[in-house]
Structure 1
């Protein structure tokens, strides 16, 4: 076994080269429009299954970029995802990241109604007078509530639906895939806050590249 000696600044680049090489060796062809997102998620998780399970609605990356260019903000269902999203890159376009899971009003309302904080957080977010992208990496109840809100006429710019777990996770993701909202969803049980943040960052970094940083 031979150790590669790589400058710290080159580790990510080398990792992406390895991922692309192994995808090619496996005969997996990823559409160019979503390749950066798929590669970054694999880089975050070291799990090549995402190349087959990540689902993208038509032209979703371009739609996401357009929304961000127009100042869209991002709502997450965990502070971990909030921490992982590159807020400096988002701020270049006028956007912010929000997470209401620790909000006292949300917590009180969730306890009173015997629903999850994520469920109430989506209600709170939907009342914001902003274009919103939802990055959901933990709570399927957030996706379920978003679907209910969409059935009532609410229209988010994009839903990133990658909660991880066992209870209602698969079903909640399918609700989003079957909706008419732009989406990036990972089918099955896998996902997580890190995956949600990686997807957002892949879009932001592609925009930075276009702007020449």
Structure 2
């Protein structure tokens, strides 16, 4: 019927098998020995590949040396996670986050944000992220709008916002790559990637991987 052999896999085993296949194929697809990557970083890279089906993130993802430590610390402190679009907010695991008392904030569809963006000639994502300073976010994640990532960096530089971690992975052709390159020159903790690829699936996969790592630390 399909022309290709279909694997008979129980629904609750699909994710586990997917991660096994990613690990098995990783070196062939990337030329990188997974054992050469720090284990926590590999967990994030693996989940991003799972979310995108794209092994190129193994080479394009860039981690500040304190990024994972800072992200886990923020999660364990219960500080809010602010993300730029509702699709991303919907994908973050509330069941994992709830154990730490954290919350996910996305204001892009708030009426006042829409009105303010229109009045100032800004994108809604940019406007919503500028408002996020009042929420004292621990992690800020941008998967879509380079303007939002630029706004976040401006606010950190001016002292208006002090997140522990910035995840900057906007996708697109206009200022996406450029905004990420600026982020990668900053001294504060970040996770970003080179090039035009990115998007909400990458941002969400990164956050969910950090949530799982935080839970594992709790059990130690």
The equivalent of 1:156 in structure 2 is 163
The equivalent of 2:65 in structure 1 is 58
Preserved CA contact (<8 Å) 2:75 2:138: no
Which of the numbers 32, 38, 49 marks the counterpart of 1:31? Answer: 38
Rounded to whole Å, the distance in 1 between the matches of 2:5 and 2:28 is 21
Preserved CA contact (<8 Å) 2:129 2:152: yes
Matched, 1:9 2:12: yes
Aligned positions of 1:19-168 closer than 5 A: 19-26=22-29, 27-29=31-33, 30-128=37-135, 130-153=136-159, 154-168=161-175
Rounded to whole Å, the distance in 2 between the matches of 1:35 and 1:132 is 22
Q: Taking structure 1 as the reference length, what is the TM-score of the superposition?
A: 0.94
Preserved CA contact (<8 Å) 1:157 1:182: yes
Q: Taking structure 2 as the reference length, what is the TM-score of the superposition?
A: 0.91
Preserved CA contact (<8 Å) 1:19 1:39: yes
Query: Residue 184 of structure 1: CA displacement?
Result: 0.6
Q: Unpaired runs of 5+ in structure 1?
A: none
The DSSP-based 3-state class of the residue aligned with 2:47 is: helix
**Total equivalences in the alignment:** 211
Preserved CA contact (<8 Å) 1:155 1:181: no
Matched, 1:180 2:187: yes
Rounded to whole Å, the distance in 1 between the matches of 2:133 and 2:20 is 40
What's the C-alpha RMSD, in Å, of the aligned pairs? 1.4
Rounded to whole Å, the distance in 2 between the matches of 1:131 and 1:99 is 11
The DSSP-based 3-state class of the residue aligned with 1:190 is: coil
Query: Residue 2 of structure 1: CA displacement?
Result: 4.2
The DSSP-based 3-state class of the residue aligned with 1:127 is: helix
The DSSP-based 3-state class of the residue aligned with 1:19 is: helix
Preserved CA contact (<8 Å) 2:40 2:213: no
